[in-house]
Chain A
Amino acid sequence: MRRFLLFLFLVSHSVLKAQTIPVSGTVSSEEEPNGFPGVNVVVKGTSQGAITDLNGGFSIEAPQGTTLVFSFVGYKTQEVVIAGPETLKVRLEQEAEELSEVVVVGYSSVERRDITGSVTSVKASDFQDMSLSGIDQALQGQAPGVQVTQSSGTPGGGISVRIRGVTSIGAGNTPLWIIDGVQVETGTLSLRSFGGQNDNALSLLNPGDIESIQILKDASAKALYGSRASNGVVVVTTKRGKKGQGKIVFDVQRGIVDPTHKLDLLNSKQLLELQREAIRNAGKNPDGFGLMSGVTDAVNTDWQDEVFRRGIMQQYQLSASGGDDNTNYYISANYRNEEGIQLNNSFQRMGAVVNLDQKFTQKLTVSSNFNITRTLNKRVKGDNFLDGVYSGAVKSLPYYAPFDENGFLVGPGSSEYAAFPNFNPVAQALLPRFDAITAKLVGALSATYKFDEHFNLKGQVSVDYNDVTEDQYESSQTAIGGYLENVGGQGYGVFIASTATNVNTFVTLSYANTFAKKHSLNAFIGSEILQSFGINGNVEGRLFPSDDFTYITSAGIVDNGSSGKGQSGLTSFLAEAKYDYDDRILATASFRTDGSSNFGPNKRFGYFPAASVAWRISSEDFFHVRAVNDLKVRASFGFTGNERIGAFGFLGTWGSTTYNGNSGVSPNNVANPDLKWEVTRETNVGVDIGLLEGRIQASVDAYYNKTFDLLLQHPYASTTGFTGVQDNIGEMENKGIELAISTINMDGKLKWSTDFNISKNSNRVLFLADSVPLYRGYTAEGSDGTNIIKEGEPMGTFIGLNFLGVDPATGDAMYQDTNADGIINNSDAIVIGNAQPDFIGGLTNRFSYNRFDLSVFFQFSVGNKILNLAKATFVNTGADILNNQSVDALRRWQKPGDITDVPRYEFENTFNNFHSNRLLEDGSYVRLKSVSLGYYLPANIASKLMLQNLRVYCSGTNLWTYTKYSGADPEVSTLDGSVSAQGIDFFTLPQVRTLSVGINATLR
């Protein structure tokens, strides 16, 4: 280093004496052998420069002896000293190949090629042009073994990420998210239910600030996270400044947002005919129900059209980064506003990031990360709520209209108001104020002290602070604020404030050495403390003087409020050693012990060891296969845990209660002093292979993970006075296989590369205490629930009656009388399917030609079933006459001899609508998840605009879908985040299709 500085000094010293001379030449590269246009040529230390033309040529005046710097994004910068007037031929080389990429895997980093565990990387370039509201969305279809499902098309809404299946029933299945070493909050932050669709803490982080994401999948990669690692770990590294000339990047993306699909429902005339028939079939007179042909159906509203809109998405980001030998900086600010496809629904985010690194001395380096974000989520109700917007619209009777003849919204009190259970979804969208304002602050300060060439001490202190304020008012013209009589019909206001804070401190002492040139050792020990605090409060008010007064100060009655606090902590000790023998044998051993406040003194500490070994066969002397550049086999084994249950579950406790104006205590929880960790034993074997000089890279992994001591409510008969106890009562397994292939198919003028991944995971519940099945999901007529957790079956198993079709003679549904007792009831319910897919994967093709680049990304899921529970309402066979019906109802049985799959409609007869596999559908799909086409403007045009680089692009998401699913969208989960009842469609808002254009400009 010192030598380099001296050299620089000498060079710059000589500048003073030099005369300028003309220099010209051409620049080429392997990819552009006939001339590389747009390369930046600068006289070092000055602002003087040029850009290569279309043939790669340049000419410039420069002092003799000075240095010319040739740079282009994605290529190694080259420097050439000018000896005299000459014609230079410069050949640029592409920046480091993946083989030597250094990845951050938790508490340490490692060269990608030396990884002994199962780690998948997702780079910023994999998702750069997609319109993403959160960083979790970026993983979809990109990594084998990672299943990402967006629960609905709600902007800023819930997304479920499952790494290698489901490992837990009761203690959470969300992976651990570590951003620059900081554990961040995941899941929902809001405290009020919106009918199934939650908000999402990860949407508070801007995908544009991310450099790369590593997904740690097997024990050896993640065991260092111990008790939090069972569900996999996602390690996110944000962008940091790099040494070199500073650059300013400006990104703009704007687009339109539309629903992917609209449901086919009946119009007024069709529905009226159907309802009259249903009532007649029940032996009643339809006229008595006020269902008059020509009167009732005089109004015909398409409620979906009324509540849907075309949303506008816009996103801006400005960042500045750079650095020198001692200081690096990355500063960025971003703004995004996405209007949802439902009226009045939008998600707005603004944030800023400051990442700094400062080398104080040769020994001490200090770094900081600072991320502050504010979002404004204008929410609307959905799914399970009768007064939801989309969920209300698809059910609402077309006989009613959103506006009266004077153009005013129809509300409670108006004779044109449909009332229960149809609450004018347009008013439900436009009138309530459901603002969730979220602020997130992630701040970290870390310091590294280098004792000598072997020992390094690193410490980091961080905080992840999340604050949610929910400002809500439902006016007197809404269902809750106006229609519900027990609320009082004069508005309903709610104010909720809550914070969730994670404070994290860790220290590691590491040691690195190489012995006898062949044995290299990297090891560290460390300790960590993690504390989580939550505090929240809410207050409700009603009886407002008018809808001009919408804050609780003005409420006539404030009779509901609460506040609470929660706290938990984790202390840990961890150690790891990595050994590398001559680049041939790589071995890693790690160990972590965690103490968690969520467990009683008997079982407070958990121990999580792991070990892995890899053999790089391609480095052995005997290996002489020319086509194979890299061949490595890996194996790992270890234990991880899950501690995510509520605090104090091990104590028998009583909580506060009230009766008749007095307060007292009532039993809360049964003591279980032996409550302990869920432990997953993970085994993984894998092969990494690089063929044809890296043109083909493939990884195959196979794993078997068994989870013991599942944390779950152990159901008790109510005769105990309790419904159950938190206990370790089950076992579950996940086994699977994953394949990822990256190929460079063409690398001439036309470049074409492909990334493909596919994975299969099989999940099975092996054991449940007392072998008692657990019912989950929704209640249903004809079964004890829509879902079951049962020994031998996977999570997400659906149960119901076996629908045998429609009796052509009577038009009634026929169900299998499984227990042959002559009665069709709950006990005839059987397993009818499963929400877990057989295969998932993604396929990305990237092309570039000249200045054009094109990326086409497909994502697929095969073999998963969807419970179209909405059909129990849309094709309700006459159970009620309060909901619109699907066009499927037109196929109903009407007269003896009709052969159909839709039973007879009879008013108030629920038998034909019992819960059965009539509602279960194949949810497989292939989706063109995103396409983007970009164009780099010629360098001379860019430079005229004072830009180093200017790329324009257009992109689209969810452009095309192939599926047999009859509902609105196959990517659906009304119970956002649920593992036992995933894949249920219950009036869930479909995904959105986004079309956008963008500009990506780099200022010189």
Chain B
Amino acid sequence: MNSRKRILTSLFFICAISSCKEVLEPEPIDLLVDDIVLNEIKDVPNVEIGLYNAFRVITPATVIAGDFTADMLIHNGTFTQYREFSTKQITSANASVATLWGSIYNTIYIANFIIERLPLVPGLKSAERDRVLATAYFLRGYAYFIGYYTFGPIPQVLTTSIETNRNIPRATDEEMLQRILDDYTFAIGKLPTDPVNAGFAGEYAVRAAVARFYLYTGNWAQAEAFATDVIDSDNYSLVPKFSDLVTKDFTPEAIFEAGYSIADDPGTDGNVGLNNLFLGRREIIPSNQAIVSLASSESGDRFSSITFDINNLVGNDNGWSVAKYGTADEDNNNVMVFRLAEMYLIRAEARAQQQNTTGVNSAQEDINTLRQRANAPTVGSLSQNQMLTVIEEERKYELAFEGHRWYDLVRTGRIGSVMPAFSANWKTTFERWPIPQREIQNNPALAGQQNPGY
């Protein structure tokens, strides 16, 4: 009997063990569950940082798009994705293409999350709410801007609904442009004119973005007006020494830059950081054309955008490196989004397009502002066409490796004249990047919607 009691006790014990709750419900470690991410005032800055974190991945991928799709960079390493850009054999499987596309929509997701949830956070002051919403709209607008000019019209995602966004077609050109402008317009007047530093968007970052938008859409008067707004704000000044722009973050000239430190750069383009691509691995180096151009007297001090090391001069390697993305021990690898010099260039081009090429408040004056800073010869009186050519070259000197060249050549229509001379493999197909293969595979509404030629 005693034995039987013990057997029963052990039976009970066995059953008790198998229903142990602590074992099955451990607390999540270093994670927040969806529902509590954005409920209180103290959650707001955290999610805002999350938005910037997603946004900044767009910027190095834009450098790859702007400089590498065009004629500024060549491949010097082993990664297939970069070889494709160098040899102009870009495919829809390219990892950099997928990185840019993904970063655009990651940014849009968090922006939409904020737009949906922020109004529900109790106790948030309206000014603060407007500021954070403006940041979300502005960065979403910027993401669509880059997306549109890289891929053509892309799906317009305006909610966080996964079901909707898994099956969403391309928008039209008109819808894209309207969306970008609407998002930017919402943000105007709601952001501080002097953010903590240029790593965060302020009022003039939005105005600079609008200036660039009007430049791209050919609305010259508005482009000039918004560029002038920024230039005349007195918040920014051209740094006297161009090389400071190459080696330093947060110069007085910076309107908005994507903040990177070496420690928190986990890899920005297909998991490889620009610092590593340009400096560590030297996977990508300046093209001979870019070197010649930057070494010209018109370029002047902008030559400091690249450096030379004789030890690297082996085989196909021309020995030159891009210098704009940091050194080993200095925290200076931010990626520039908007800076004052670009505003001068936008205004110069807008003025030239409006036949205002020479004289006071003309394109010539804007160009010479930059030439003088670079200790380069100033330009004299030029025809409109000559001036536009000068501006194209000037943008190349000034904005080299900041992600502009390809976008400029495509929007001005000059790409068909410039690129075939650079690469025999060039095709008009490459005026747009392909939609990543996996997006077409996973989004039924994109079936058959690939850009032509890919």
Contacts and interface: CB of A to CB of B under 8 A. Distances in A.
Interface of A: 289-291, 386, 413, 415, 417-421, 451-452, 455, 457, 484-489, 505, 507-509, 525-529, 531, 542-543, 556-557, 559-560, 564-573, 593, 595-597, 604, 647-648, 651-668, 670-671, 715-723, 725, 770, 772-773, 775, 779-781, 783-785, 825-826, 879-882, 907-911
B91 A826 contact: yes
Contacts of A647: 26, 28
Contact of B50 (A596, A654, A725, A882): A654
Contact of A648 (B23, B28, B441): B28
Contacts of B157: 719, 721
A566 B89 contact: no
Given A717-B442, A910-B83, A659 B24 contact: no
B279 A658 contact: no
B422 to A, nearest CB: 14
Contacts of B436: 718
B126 interface: no
B9 to A, nearest CB: 10
Contact of A419 (B7, B54, B312): B312
B413 interface: no
B412 interface: no
Interface string B229-272: 00000000000000000000000000000010111100000000
Interface stretch (B14-22, B62-70, B291-299): B14-22
Most chain A CB within a 10 A radius of its CB, from B50, B86, B275: B50
Nearest to B22: A569
A571 B24 contact: yes
Contacts of A826: 91-93, 437
A657 B49 contact: yes
Most chain B CB within a 10 A radius of its CB, from A656, A660, A668: A660
Contact of B29 (A457, A567, A718): A567
A785 B93 CA distance: 8
B169 to A, nearest CB: 10
Contact of B18 (A527, A542, A543, A659): A527
Contacts of A881: 315-316
A521 to B, nearest CB: 16
Contact of A421 (B24, B78, B112): B78
A488 B329 contact: yes
B166 interface: yes
Closest 9 CB pairs of A and B: A664-B49, A721-B109, A660-B259, A569-B23, A717-B443, A652-B34, A488-B328, A660-B199, A666-B50
10 contacts: A488-B328, A509-B7, A529-B20, A556-B329, A564-B30, A569-B23, A573-B18, A664-B46, A721-B165, A781-B84
A573 B14 CA distance: 8
A556 B329 CA distance: 9
A526 B13 CA distance: 10
Contacts of A564: 29-30
B105 A665 contact: no
Contacts of A505: 17
B314 A654 contact: no
A290 B262 CA distance: 35
A290 B314 contact: yes
B166 A654 contact: no
Given A419-B314, A507-B13, A667 B110 contact: yes
B95 interface: yes
A297 to B, nearest CB: 14
Given A455-B3, A571-B24, A653-B28, A772 B14 contact: no
A882 B45 CA distance: 48
A718 B259 CA distance: 24
Contact of B87 (A486, A525, A568, A910): A910
B360 interface: no
Nearest to B101: A718
B20 A565 contact: no
Given A653-B34, A665-B47, A716 B166 contact: yes
Contacts of B276: 484, 486
B327 interface: yes
B6 interface: yes
B421 interface: no
Nearest to A395: B78
Contact of B78 (A386, A452, A721): A386
B17 to A, nearest CB: 4
Interface residues of B, number: 101
B83 A657 contact: no
Contact of B439 (A665, A719, A773): A719
Nearest to B155: A719
B438 A420 contact: no
B56 interface: yes
A596 B24 contact: yes
Contacts of B446: 717
Contacts of A528: 17-18
A451 B199 CA distance: 74
Contacts of B45: 662, 664
A597 B29 contact: no
A719 B165 contact: yes
B105 A718 contact: yes
B127 interface: no
Given A717-B165, A908-B87, A527 B15 contact: yes
A735 B437 CA distance: 34
B399 to A, nearest CB: 22
A723 B26 CA distance: 27
Contact of B32 (A529, A595, A665, A783): A665
B30 A655 contact: yes
A574 to B, nearest CB: 8
A569 B26 contact: yes
Most chain B CB within a 10 A radius of its CB, from A413, A508, A604, A662: A662
B328 A487 contact: yes
A451 B6 contact: yes
Contacts of B87: 908-910
Nearest to A563: B30
Contacts of A573: 14-15, 18
A927 to B, nearest CB: 33
A559 B48 CA distance: 24
A666 B280 contact: no
B117 interface: no
B26 A597 contact: yes
Nearest to B74: A908
B310 to A, nearest CB: 9
Given A569-B26, A654-B34, A721-B108, A527 B443 contact: no
B174 interface: no
A659 B166 contact: no
Contacts of A559: 262-263
Given A720-B105, A779-B80, A543 B48 contact: no
Given A455-B3, A572-B18, A665-B50, 16 more contacts: A417-B311, A421-B77, A452-B3, A525-B14, A527-B16, A567-B26, A569-B26, A571-B17, A654-B34, A660-B261, A717-B166, A717-B442, A721-B109, A722-B109, A781-B80, A880-B316
A658 B49 contact: yes
A160 B390 CA distance: 63
Contacts of A413: 311
A658 B264 contact: yes
Most chain B CB within a 10 A radius of its CB, from A291, A564, A648: A648
Contact of B105 (A663, A721, A880): A721
A337 B78 CA distance: 37
Contacts of A882: 78, 315
A660 B438 contact: no
Most chain A CB within a 10 A radius of its CB, from B46, B49, B109: B49
A779 B31 CA distance: 32
Contacts of B19: 571, 595
A652 B29 contact: no
Most chain A CB within a 10 A radius of its CB, from B31, B77, B91: B31
A290 B155 CA distance: 50
A657 B264 CA distance: 9
